[in-house]
Structure 1
Amino acid sequence: MMKPADLPIKSMSAVKARDREGWLALFEDNAVVEDPVGGHEMWDKEGTGQQGKEAIGRFYDMFSSSQSAMDFEVHHMAACGNEAACFVTMKFTMNDGTVNENKLINIYKMSPNGKVASLRSFWN
């Protein structure tokens, strides 16, 4: 069975591999993704996050369609109880060749089934 500390690496590795179905399989059916926490003017105006696998899948399609590649470097991770916090730099290569780097903190909450119940991403 997965441990909370496994979730960040499995999640980011699936995105890096452009494995949509593998990424979605990590989530509970009723999971919530807040990326970023507090909402975004283009894809989460209400600030409630992407709720449920269908919405999370649409979110994946939206962000992956503008990127040709993603890589990540984990600076620090801490797992407590059923959650893991990960300080990471994510590097996105956009379809036009530009590269964007974001430092962020992702907090993953694991369900009793060993899947992601919630993913909260803090970045600006």
Structure 2
Amino acid sequence: MTTTVEHPARIASRASQAAASGKRKAEWLDLFAEDGWVEDPVGPSGFDPEGKGHHGREAIARFYDMTIANTDSLTFNVADTLICGDEMVYIGSIRSVVAGNQIDAEGVFVYRVNAEGKLQSIRAFWEVDRAMKTLVKL
């Protein structure tokens, strides 16, 4: 008899996506290691002018309040996933609806877990300008 054990990074990524799309802030924050961080998008942006990421749960909570909390809906469209070591990447897009505007951010989204299966980091590689070209008024 063979059993298939799902990779901890895949489990954490799915839990993160479900909590974010369900707008369950406390549940989403609880997925992170105490010293975890988020870079979304990686590099300088309006959410992170210095491009250093949001480190620690307090900073991750502020990131949530600036981004996820302001969406009407979030949909994760996963085209493919790859597992390497303690990380999982998904290739696809995130559709956000904010104030009657729909935007698709295509990219590569990297989830790293620690030994306990907690999210050590989420790093989202997507281009703001490219996403803005998909803006549709609903």
- Per the TM superposition, whether the score is higher than 0.5 is yes
Spell out, residue by residue over 1:45-65, the C-alpha distance to the aligned partner (whole angstroms, 9 max, x if none). 111100000000000011124
CA contact (8 A) 2:74 2:95 kept: yes
- The 1-side partners of 2:30 and 2:79 are apart by 25
Shift of 1:92: 0.7
Distance 1:7 1:88, change over 3 A: farther
| Other structure's SS at 1:57 match | helix
Question: Which aligned pairs between 1:63-102 and structure 2 lie closer than 5 A?
Answer: 63-94=67-98, 96-102=99-105
CA contact (8 A) 1:2 1:114 kept: no
TM-score computed with the length of structure 2 as normaliser: 0.83
* Structure 1 stretches of 4+ moved >3 Å: none
Which residue in 2 is equivalent to 1:50?
A: 54
> Structure 1 residue 4 and structure 2 residue 9: aligned?
yes
RMSD (CA atoms):
1.4
Structure showing greater Rg: 2
| Other structure's SS at 1:37 match | coil
CA contact (8 A) 1:34 1:50 kept: yes
> Structure 1 residue 117 and structure 2 residue 128: aligned?
no
TM-score computed with the length of structure 1 as normaliser: 0.92
Spell out, residue by residue over 1:2-49, the C-alpha distance to the aligned partner (whole angstroms, 9 max, x if none). 611212211111111001011101100110111111121x22111110
Determine which structure has greater relative contact order: mean sequence separation of CA pairs < 8 Å that are 6+ residues apart, divided by chain length.
1
Aligned length: 122
Shift of 1:98: 1.3
Residue segments in structure 2 that go unaligned for 5+ positions in a row: 1-5, 128-138
